[in-house]
Structure 1
C-alpha cells in the first residue's frame, strides 16, 4: 500500500519557511481568508480526478496562521470565535472541500486547548506549537472491531517510556499534519490519548482511503509500529466531560460547514456552466442557456439552498459560541447550554443534508449530457456531500432528537461521540 512518505518529507522541509514569522491577529487572518481560498481553489477538481494530495495548500495554511484562530488572546492567540472558525471552514470548502475537511481534527484540538483553564505542560506545549503554525491530525478509530469506537491499539510501558502499537483508520488530515492525537488502551485497560509527531519513527501514514467522495482528506490508515511515546505526551481520555461533549458538537458542525462550502461551490459551478459552457436544449425557445426559464429556475433553487444552509450553519455556530463562553465562565447553566448546542447541531445536520444533497442532484438540470463529462467532474459535489453525511447515521440523529423532544432522553446527547 502506498504511503505518504515522499510528500511528507517534502512538506516537512518546507514547514520552517511556511511558519508565520509574526503572529497575525484575528482581523488579519479573516481579512486574508478570501485571498487564501483563491490560492487554494485552482485545480481542485482536477486534483480530485488525478488523486493529487493538496500538500501545498497546507503550507499556505501554516503560513497564514489560520490554525491558531481559536486560541484565546490570554493564551497568546488571535481570540477568534467558533463562528469565525466555521466561516473559515465553509470558505475553504468552497475552494477545496478536502482541505477544509482535513482541518477537522485540528480545530477540535484547538477548541479543547481554548477551553482548558488549567492547561497541563503538554497542553501548554500544544498551544505553543499551534501558535507557531503547526497543524494537528488524529487517529482514533479502527476497522474490523465489533463496534466503532473500540480500540485494539495498545500503549505499554518499556522502562522509562512507552511503546505504541496498532493500526488506525479514518485518520483524517494526519498526512498533512505536524502532530497527531492517537487513542489507545494502556495496560490497565484505560483509554488514553497520546500526542506525537507525525514524523516519529514507527509512524506510517498510508494513502489507502478509498471512499467515493472526499478522496483527498487523507482519511486512511496510520500504522503504529512500536512507536516511542514519552510520559509527558500522554493524557487521559476526557470525551464524556463537558468540554469534550462541546467539542464533539463542533466536530459535527465542521462537517456541516464543509457541506455548506460544497454547496457554494456547486452553485458557482452551475453559474459558470450556464454562462460559459451551456447551450439551450433543442426544444428550448431561448437563444442562450442563461435565458432558458427552466435553467433560471434551477439556478434560483441552488442560490436559495446555499443561502439557507449558510444561515443555518452560522446560527448553529453562534449557539456553540454560547456553550464555549459558558464553559470558560463556569456558568450555572453550562450543562443545559452544551446540551442545546448538541441538539442544534443535530437538527442543522438533518436539514442541511437534505438541502445539500438535493442541490447536488439538481445541479445537473442546468445542462444536458455534456454536464456529466468527467472533465468537469461535477459529480464530485454529490459524492463529497454523500460521503460527509455518511459519517454518522442521520436516522440515528433524528431518532435521538425525537426521543429527547418526546421523552426528555439525553443518553446519546451526553456521550460526546456523534452529537
Structure 2
C-alpha cells in the first residue's frame, strides 16, 4: 500500500473536509444495510490522514491535537461509524510515541505513513470493571511471548493491518502487543450488533496462543508512572466524534425543515423555516452546538499546551479540560439528535430516511464511559484542588 504524506495542519484539515463530503453521500445507506466501509477506509488510508500524528523526525506532519480533533469532528459530522474506526489507530500511535523503542518507532511509524491501519483489542466482557484486563502475555523460552484471551468491542480490528492488544504480563503489568491481523491463532469475529455505529464492526477478537516477538511489545504501564496525556488524547477524540454527530444532526434538521417540512397552520407563515417558534428552537440548538465545539477547542488547546511542556499541573489541566468537553459533547450529541425529530415533524420518523441514525450513533457512542465521572473529577478539583488520577479514561 502507498499513501500520500500530508505536510501540515492546513492540509490535514483540507483533506478531512474533502473526505467528509465524499463519505456523507452514502452514509445513510451504509448504516441501513450495514454495508462495511472497506472502500472508504482504503480512501482514508490513501489520503494520508492516518499518518498525521507521526513525529516530524520520522517524516510525519505531527499535527496539533486541535487539528486532529477537528479532523474527527468533520468526519463524524458525515459518518460517525467511519470516524470511530480510526480513533484507536491514533491512540496506539500515541502509545508508540510514548513508550516505543527507537527501532519500534522507526518500523511502525513507517507502517503508518504507508497507510497501514491499527485496530484494537482492548476491552473485555464479563470482568469486574473496564480496567480488569485478563488477557495474558506470557514469556516463551526463546524470548518471544504468547497471547491468550478474548476481547470485545474491538473497533477497527476487522479492517486493520495491525491489532494492538492490551494484556497483562506475568508481573501483572499492562503491555501492548502489536499483532499482525493475519497472525496464527488470532481470529476477528464480526459479531457487533449495536443499535448505533452499525458499521464499525466492533466485534470480538480471539487470541489462542498467539506468538508475539519481543520487539512487538510495548510496556504500556510505564505511561502512567509520570505525567501523561494518553487518556486525554483518547477522550478528546471521543468528544470530537460526539461534537461531529451533534453538528451533523443540526445541519440535517435545518436542511429538512427548509426543504421538506410544512409550517404549522397557526404560525401564519408560508414556510416552516419562517415559523418563529422553530427559529427560536434552532437558535437554542445552535447555541448548544457552538458551546460544545468551543469546549472541544479549549480542551484540544490544553492538550497541545501540555504536550509542549508536560508537567503534573499541565497534564491535570488537559485532563480536566477534556473531561469538561466530553461531558458537554455527550449531552449535546444526544440532545440535538433527539431534537432533529422535534423540529422536523412526523415525516422525519420515516424509517426509509434513516434520520434516526444520528440518535442511534449518539446514544451508542456516548456509552463508552460515563460522563458523570467526568463531572465528578471536575467537582473534586474545583472544590478541593484534587488532580485527576492517571489512567487511560480521563
**What is the TM-score normalised by the length of structure 1?**
0.88
Q: Equivalent of 2:259, from 264, 276, 280? A: 276
What SS is found at the alignment partner of 1:60? helix
Check conservation: 2:6, 2:52, Cα contact below 8 A.
no
1:387 deviates by 2.0
1:323 deviates by 1.1
Check conservation: 2:167, 2:176, Cα contact below 8 A.
yes
Partner residue, 2:336: 359
Asked whether 1:143 is paired with 2:129, we answer no
Asked whether 1:203 is paired with 2:186, we answer yes
In 1, distance between residues paired with 2:16 and 2:220?
Answer: 34
Q: Equivalent of 1:152, from 129, 134, 154? A: 134
What SS is found at the alignment partner of 2:314? helix
Asked whether 1:127 is paired with 2:109, we answer yes
Deviations 1:27-48 (A, max 9, x none): 4333222221111111112211
In 2, distance between residues paired with 1:119 and 1:30?
Answer: 30
Q: 1:250 to 1:209 in 2, by over 3 A?
A: same
Partner residue, 1:9: none
What SS is found at the alignment partner of 1:136? coil
Of 370-379 and 27-36, the range deviating more from structure 2: 27-36
1:279 deviates by 1.5
What SS is found at the alignment partner of 2:46? helix
In 2, distance between residues paired with 1:39 and 1:97?
Answer: 14
Partner residue, 1:11: none
What SS is found at the alignment partner of 2:353? coil
In 1, distance between residues paired with 2:329 and 2:13?
Answer: 25
Query: C-alpha root-mean-square deviation of aligned residues, in Å?
Result: 1.9
Asked whether 1:383 is paired with 2:367, we answer no
Partner residue, 1:82: 65
Asked whether 1:324 is paired with 2:307, we answer yes
1:146 deviates by 1.9
**What is the TM-score normalised by the length of structure 2?**
0.93
In 1, distance between residues paired with 2:116 and 2:259?
Answer: 41
1:114 deviates by 4.2
Partner residue, 2:393: 418
1:340 deviates by 0.6
Partner residue, 2:79: 96
Asked whether 1:173 is paired with 2:166, we answer no
Q: 1:69 to 1:168 in 2, by over 3 A?
A: same
1:93 deviates by 0.5
Structure 2, unaligned stretches of length 5 or more? none
Partner residue, 2:18: 35
Deviations 1:288-336 (A, max 9, x none): 2222222222222232222222221112101100111114xxxxxx111
Partner residue, 1:406: 383
Check conservation: 1:70, 1:114, Cα contact below 8 A.
no
Deviations 1:228-271 (A, max 9, x none): 2111111222341346x302111111111001111111111112
Partner residue, 2:197: 214
Partner residue, 1:69: 52
What SS is found at the alignment partner of 1:375? helix
Partner residue, 1:293: 276
Of 354-363 and 218-227, the range deviating more from structure 2: 354-363
In 2, distance between residues paired with 1:283 and 1:56?
Answer: 48
Asked whether 1:25 is paired with 2:7, we answer yes
Partner residue, 1:47: 30
What SS is found at the alignment partner of 1:32? helix
Of 51-60 and 378-387, the range deviating more from structure 2: 378-387
Partner residue, 2:224: 240
Check conservation: 2:13, 2:70, Cα contact below 8 A.
no
Partner residue, 2:351: 374
Structure 1, unaligned stretches of length 5 or more? 1-15, 328-333
Asked whether 1:335 is paired with 2:312, we answer yes
Q: Equivalent of 1:254, from 224, 227, 237? A: 237
In 2, distance between residues paired with 1:390 and 1:80?
Answer: 28
